[in-house]
Amino acid sequence: MKILIADDDELSLMLMETTLKRIGYDVVAAVNGRDAMDRLLEIDGPRLALLDWMMPEMDGPVVCQNIRALSHRPYIYVTLLTSKDSKADLVEGLDAGADDYLTKPCDPEELKARLRTGQRIPQLEDQLVTAREEMRFKATHDPLTTLWNRGKILESLDQTLQIGHPSAVLLCDVDYFKGINDTHGHLAGDAVLREIAHRLRRAVRQDDAIGRYGGEEFLVLLTGCDERSLLERAEQLRAKVADTGFNIEGDSISVTVSIGAIFASGDEPRQSSEAILRRADEALYLAKQNGRNRVVTTSAHMV
Ligand code: GH3
Ligand code: MG
Ligand code: MG
């Protein structure tokens, strides 16, 4: 773990650096308070800091105050190094935001033990951040395909319609998917859904969005897609799925999707996502009726 040591006294700095390296820390040295601040605020900067109390330019407690005043940053566990040992001084140091203090000269065993304790705080914070990220991911993603889940893709559709940018809405449904499950088993069916998700994701652009709308239905939003490119773009997606066999337990099986494609121009009176989805569903129904593995598009002017 990285640790910052800040001391204006060269000899103390060197001795402490040697001790910390011996304990196994990755040491970042600073020669004054301002230097310490700069190093602590670097991206991936140290999360443990040992600050000498008295330093030119900015003393240890002021560095603490400045760090604590910054919100939305990873926590830095700060220990002040001091030759002061009056209670009033220590309270002042802790009030400035320090987590702990050590009186100089430090006993190496005590230093080691205190830092081990301090380390738990950034570690705990990292665990919490990871857990929060996982929860956020789960709340917005489909676990099987890792695409956006239904709630999130519908939210994106609402937002896109609100903004009023021209865009395309594609409702894709796997053809005869029940047959794939029946013939190859449910797990093979799951693998097919994952592979379709992978192919669709590769076929769209950075700003586009794809979600799992239902069991074997995917909703794709092509932002900024104009009406002339609607059919071409939807065809690309269809072909990405249909053109190469799916490798299922060593067999290559053919999988296709039918797509109902709707163009939302953005300049017509704002349409509700329900209305757009209803039209996409109608177009999808026609694609199924007309033989599957095809795209049917309807624009606002065509219905
Ligand atoms: P069509 O060409 O008309 O769309 O026929 P289909 O067989 O694809 O449609 P149908 O709606 O009859 O069947 C969809 C099947 O998808 C039924 C359901 O068991 C299956 N399914 C839904 N979600 C999942 C899933 O997460 N994994 C697997 N393996 N199957 C699923
Ligand atoms: Mg379906
Ligand atoms: Mg289907």
pLDDT per residue over 55-93, tens digit each?
A: 988 999 999 999 999 988 999 999 999 887 778 888 988
Verify whether ligand 1 is closer than 6 Å to residue 218 (CB atom).
no
Give the CB-side neighbour count of residue 52, counting CA atoms within 13 A: 25
Could you tell me the distance, in angstroms and rounded to a whole number, from the CA of residue 217 to the centre of ligand 1?
A: 9
Residues with a catalytic annotation lie at: 216
Contacts of 18 (CB under 8 A, 6+ apart): none
In which order are the strands placed within the sheet that holds 295-299? 209-214, 217-223, 167-174, 257-264, 295-299
- Residue 239 scores a pLDDT above 60: yes
pTM, rounded to two decimals? 0.81
Verify whether ligand 1 is closer than 6 Å to residue 216 (CB atom).
yes
Verify whether ligand 1 is closer than 6 Å to residue 246 (CB atom).
no
Task: Determine the atom of ligand 1 nearest the C-alpha atom of 188.
Answer: 29
Average pLDDT over residues 185-197: 97
The C-alpha angle 47, 48, 54, rounded to 5 degrees, equals: 125
Residues around the ion ligand 2 (C-beta < 5 A)? 173
DSSP-H helix ranges across 57-213:
60-69, 87-95, 108-140, 150-163, 177-184, 186-203
Which domains occur in the chain, in start order? 2-137 (3.40.50.2300), 150-302 (3.30.70.270)
CA dihedral sign, ordered 94, 22, 15, 25: negative
What pLDDT band is residue 298 in, cutting at 50, 70 and 90?
confident
What pLDDT band is residue 185 in, cutting at 50, 70 and 90?
very high
CB of 34 closer than 8 Å to CB of 58: yes
